[in-house]
Structure 1
Amino acid sequence: MPDRSPSLASRLPTLVLVCKRPAIGHGKQRLAGSLGAEPTFVIAERLLDCALEDLENWPGATVIAPDLAQHRNWASAVAPLSCCQPQTPGNLGERLNALDRTLRAAGHRSLVFIGSDAPALRECDYRQVRNALDEVDTVLLAARDGGVVLMASNRPWPDLTALPWSSAALGQALAEACRGAEHSLRVCGESFDIDEPADLDHALRELADDPRPARRRLIHTLATGGGDHP
């Protein structure tokens, strides 16, 4: 288990998981259109498990941020060692800005945001981000489709409301917004997230030798077509 002593945690960034509670018809609809609702739901659960695995292994403070306030009890149950801070209404940019303000007001000084659909994130990626935050204001980890899989900053985010979320232009637009707010910025490499059916094949290849338990369960689910719900 990671060392979560207060003295260490206070020196490390806080990892924030921005997520939805998996449900039939809620999220990952581009996958559902190809795979069907039930297999997509199972895959969404496995993807969330991977992100929860990262929360559990983070050496500092952690936060889970479900998209709906009524999912607070669920979120607290699946991430019992994390603070639960539900998102507020609005588009993704508005929700991230509001979440960022709330957490900074509560004393979190450096925040690392991830979603629940980037299972290829590894400890080496997180370590690189933590090291970079010692040297620059803001750190991004790019997605191969033009988006981002991780966004971290020692400073409040600029206004994210009008950014082209869920598009190939997001990564560049986010970087430009940060530079426009006079953030020193570093892009620490590239990974991928799961949006389209083709991304599942990529995950099978990239995670084939990953020993982490949640990743092994995800690989088994993908290899069986998402039909192994308990």
Structure 2
Amino acid sequence: MATAPLTLVVMARWPAPGRCKSRLARQTGRWSAAQVQRRLTQHSLQVGGSWSQRHGHSLEVAVDGLGPRGLRRWQQELRPLAPGARLSAQGGGSLGCRMQRQLQRAFQGGAERVLVIGTDLPGLETQDLEAAAEALLSAPLVIGPACDGGYWLMGLNRAGFQRAGAHLMSGIPWGTSQVLQSSLAAAAQRALPVQLLREQNDLDEGQDLENWWRCQLPPP
């Protein structure tokens, strides 16, 4: 039996010194922080790209910090990691506005399920994406909690997006420890059931980097 078409959106930032990982850069320096960002982005695209290709899903990479020419150059560079990926600009506004824009674009393009992830997850595995995609066949909203009070994944099916999509992105205190709780409260206000995935740790601080050195990925 065919499953509902799915789009995986990776929210990425151009890994240039001084333009990414500002909290980490204060501890490691801008160049080192940019190298960490590059490695994490590669990992996310390798995991997301292989999983998307295996299942025939669409892969969109929404980039912050690059113009049209830069996007074309980076797409060529990333092609070996994620051959089917399409790169586009995130556009302006808050993180909520940019995520909403990507969700809207994916559903207008024919997707029935959309997963949105970032590039700060050294522990991301294909099983995580599989669990989220499976959950959206029955639940309208799926969220992957992060240890810092945010989330590392949000997924919606078409019914969930039509019912509460914009409200899940509005009024959220992005960049704080209240992101997850505020998002769950917004879903509750719309009586939207939520399925939670396993908790993971974003790599944002120096201590997170030390933990990364102990995981399976080699240090940058």
TM-score, scaled to structure 2? 0.85
Matched residue pairs, number?
204
User: Do residues 66 (structure 1) and 63 (structure 2) align?
Assistant: yes
> For the structure 1 residues 68 and 26, does the alpha-carbon distance in structure 2 shift closer, same or farther, using more than 3 Å as the test?
closer
Superposed displacement of residue 183, structure 1: 2.0
Q: In percent, how many aligned pairs have the same letter?
A: 25
CA distance in structure 2 between the partners assigned to 1:34 and 1:87 by the alignment: 27
**Contact 2:14–2:66 (8 Å) recurs in 1:** no
| Correspondence for 2:219 | 220
**Contact 1:92–1:161 (8 Å) recurs in 2:** no
**Contact 1:64–1:75 (8 Å) recurs in 2:** no
Superposed displacement of residue 41, structure 1: 1.3
| Correspondence for 1:196 | 205
User: Do residues 29 (structure 1) and 22 (structure 2) align?
Assistant: yes
Match of 2:96 among 93, 101, 125: 93
Superposed displacement of residue 42, structure 1: 1.0
| Correspondence for 2:178 | 169
User: Do residues 115 (structure 1) and 118 (structure 2) align?
Assistant: yes
CA distance in structure 2 between the partners assigned to 1:168 and 1:112 by the alignment: 22
Superposed displacement of residue 37, structure 1: 1.2
Task: Flag as ranges the 4+ runs of structure 1 deviating above 3 A.
Answer: none
| Correspondence for 1:76 | 75
Question: What secondary structure is seen at the aligned counterpart in 2 of 1:113?
Answer: strand
Structure 2 unaligned spans of 5+? none
1:129-168 residue pairs with structure 2 within 5 A? Answer: 129-154=132-157, 155-156=160-161, 157-159=165-167, 160-168=169-177
Question: What secondary structure is seen at the aligned counterpart in 1 of 2:62?
Answer: strand
| Correspondence for 1:46 | 39
Corresponding letter in the other structure for 1:220 = P
**Higher mean C-alpha displacement, 152-161 vs 30-39:** 152-161
The two structures, once aligned, show a CA RMSD in angstroms of 1.9
Corresponding letter in the other structure for 2:75 = S
Superimposed CA distance per residue, residues 84-120 of structure 1 (whole angstroms, 9 cap, x where no aligned partner): 3321210101111122112211112211001111121
Question: What secondary structure is seen at the aligned counterpart in 1 of 2:219?
Answer: helix
**Higher mean C-alpha displacement, 107-116 vs 70-79:** 70-79
CA distance in structure 2 between the partners assigned to 1:74 and 1:198 by the alignment: 33
Question: What secondary structure is seen at the aligned counterpart in 1 of 2:128?
Answer: helix
| Correspondence for 1:102 | 105
**Contact 2:113–2:133 (8 Å) recurs in 1:** no
**Contact 1:158–1:181 (8 Å) recurs in 2:** no
Superimposed CA distance per residue, residues 36-55 of structure 1 (whole angstroms, 9 cap, x where no aligned partner): 11111111111111111122
